[in-house]
């Protein structure tokens, strides 16, 4: 049962990450409602460096954020399916998705909106359930 929960939790992360990547790269969903804000972001650099614009940094942060969620799924789905003994035999590999899930859950609650929060909550509950089942063995 713990492996099913692990795959479900990781799959949710993978789906959310993939959707986020697609929306970032192939839609205007991350542009501001006020076009002057998007324009300002495209024409302004952060104080840190003039080598990029706030817009390019914004897109890059969103893409890297997507890749992080997708990487969690790409790692834990095959691990749970083909190498279950690694998760069952390691406190670290059973606890890591819980830590990642709780971190993303905090970010979703503080900075994002309802849809990712609900998806990440369900995923994190799956990870917690899997962890509890693993440590009870």
For 103, other C-beta atoms within 10 Å of its C-beta total 12
Q: Does residue 8 sit in helix, strand or coil?
A: helix
Query: d(Cα 60, Cα 48) in Å, to the nearest integer?
Result: 15
DSSP H helices, the chain, are 2-26, 35-42, 54-82, 84-88, 91-111, 114-135
pLDDT at 39: 97
Domain ranges of the chain: 2-135
Whether the pLDDT of residue 63 is over 90: the answer is: yes
Summarize pLDDT for 18-54 with one digit per residue, the tens. 999 999 999 999 999 999 999 999 999 999 999 999 9
pLDDT at 87: 95
pLDDT at 117: 96
Whether the pLDDT of residue 9 is over 90: the answer is: yes
pLDDT at 132: 97
Whether the pLDDT of residue 111 is over 90: the answer is: yes
Summarize pLDDT for 64-110 with one digit per residue, the tens. 999 999 999 999 999 999 999 999 999 999 999 999 999 999 999 99
pLDDT at 137: 80
pTM for this structure? 0.91
């Amino acid at each position: 049962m713990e492996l099913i929960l692990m795959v479900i939790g990781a799959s949710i992360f993978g789906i959310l990450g993939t959707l986020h990547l697609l929306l970032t790269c192939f839609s205007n969903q991350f542009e501001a409602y006020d076009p002057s804000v998007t324009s300002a972001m495209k024409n302004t650099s952060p104080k840190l460096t003039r080598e990029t614009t706030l817009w390019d940094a914004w897109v890059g942060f969103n893409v890297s954020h997507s890749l992080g969620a997708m990487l969690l799924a790409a790692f834990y789905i095959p691990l749970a399916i083909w190498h279950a003994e690694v998760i069952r035999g390691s406190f670290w590999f059973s606890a890591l998705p819980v830590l990642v899930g709780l971190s993303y859950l905090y970010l979703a609650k503080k900075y994002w909106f309802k849809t990712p929060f609900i998806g990440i909550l369900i995923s994190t509950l799956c990870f917690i359930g899997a962890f509890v089942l693993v440590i009870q063995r």
